[in-house]
Amino acid sequence: MNKNPFSLPDRRDPWDALDPLSGDPAQVLKQYVAVDNTEDAFLHFSRTLPRPDELTRRGQLVVAMGMDGGGKSSLINKCAWLAKEKIEAAGHQAVEIDTRTEATVTDSMEARVAQVAESVAFALGRAGIATIEERDRERLAKEPVWLYSRLRYMVAEKVIVLIRLPRTERIEEIVQYAQFSQPQLVFFAELGGKFGESVVRPRVDGSGHRRPILMEVGPLGKGHGAAFVENRFELNELTNTQPVLEPAVVEKMISSRGPSIREFQNFLYLMYERLLSLPKAPEKITWRDVLEAYYQLGREL
């Protein structure tokens, strides 16, 4: 075998978040595996997302929470893709705007939300989606977030704007977007840090707007590692090829460390890169091989 089973087509880096909106959805969706509660969370979102005609009357905030590397970005991307599909299937127009790189974690919350609003206004104007009157431009220049309360007057009635937000570790920022969830707006947010629904729910439910959809991801559990490995080998058509990674070894990797899906993917990719570079790769990966790889690859993980 000379192909790394944990390398996937159309992905610049093997550990990049999956995103059906940036590639062939049919192919990208095959790469999702039902691990770390992401599938249950996605099904919850699918059942809870309001109908498009309701979204035109009241906005929506969607939040993915959980451990770093737990699949929040991939989950949010899949939810945004599904929302777009449902909106367009109902005869509405979905406008997807990705602002995830528009603010840094070191910026103040006020600066971050202003930068996002400015980016949204620019994207809508450039695409010819929003008509911004001259009298509104001055107000928006001073108070960018005013855009959200005025949006319904700037776009057509059946336009719904989907905004993927920069990752944050501030609950206060999530509360702000709950308040910004005006008609024809759907925000998709990632909340990092050790926050769960029991902490976040009381804060966002008091915003006075539609109840946000909250989703949690977690560490890999029993059977998750084997399911992930099987999926990646099948996608690369490498079933039963060497070096073989047996379920018992995979299970020990999960139970001994409880890694996130990103850490697990990173390690497996780097371990196979190392093994495949050897003059003769082993037929079977043992627990000792795994420990040696962790030691040798530690700085890259």
Q: Residue 81 belongs to a domain with what CATH number?
A: 3.40.50
Q: Are residues 95 and 141 in the same domain?
A: yes
pLDDT lower than 70: segments of the chain: 1-2, 207-208, 239-241, 298-301
**Residues 190, 160 share a domain:** yes
Number of folded domains in the chain? Answer: 2
Q: Rounded to whole angstroms, how far apart are CA atoms 9 and 186?
A: 30
In a domain, 208, yes or no: yes
Same domain, 61 and 152: yes
Residue 108 and residue 180 share a domain: yes
List the beta bridge partners of residue 61.
187
pLDDT at residue 88 in the model:
97
Backbone angles phi, psi at 99, to 5 degrees: -110, 20
Domain assignment present for residue 2? The answer is no
Buried b (16+ CB within 10 A) or exposed e, 254-285: beeeebbbbbbbbbbbbbbbbbeeeeeeeeeb
pLDDT score for 300:
63
What tokens does 202 get? 């009381």
> Given this model, what pLDDT does residue 240 score?
59
Q: Are residues 196 and 233 in the same domain?
A: no
Contact 97, 120 (CB under 8 A): yes
pLDDT the model gives residue 135: 81
The verdict on 88 and 199 lying in the same domain is: yes
Residues 54 and 200 reside in one and the same domain? yes
* Residue 244 belongs to domain spanning: 224-300
Among 194, 153, 21, residue whose Cα is nearest residue 94: 21
Q: Is the CB of residue 71 less than 8 Å from the CB of residue 263?
A: no
| Residues 211 and 242 reside in one and the same domain | no
Is the full-model pTM beyond 0.85?
yes
Same domain, 125 and 203: yes
> How many residues does this entry show for the chain?
301
Do 149 and 245 fall within a single domain? Answer: no
Q: Tell whether 187 and 168 lie within a shared domain.
A: yes
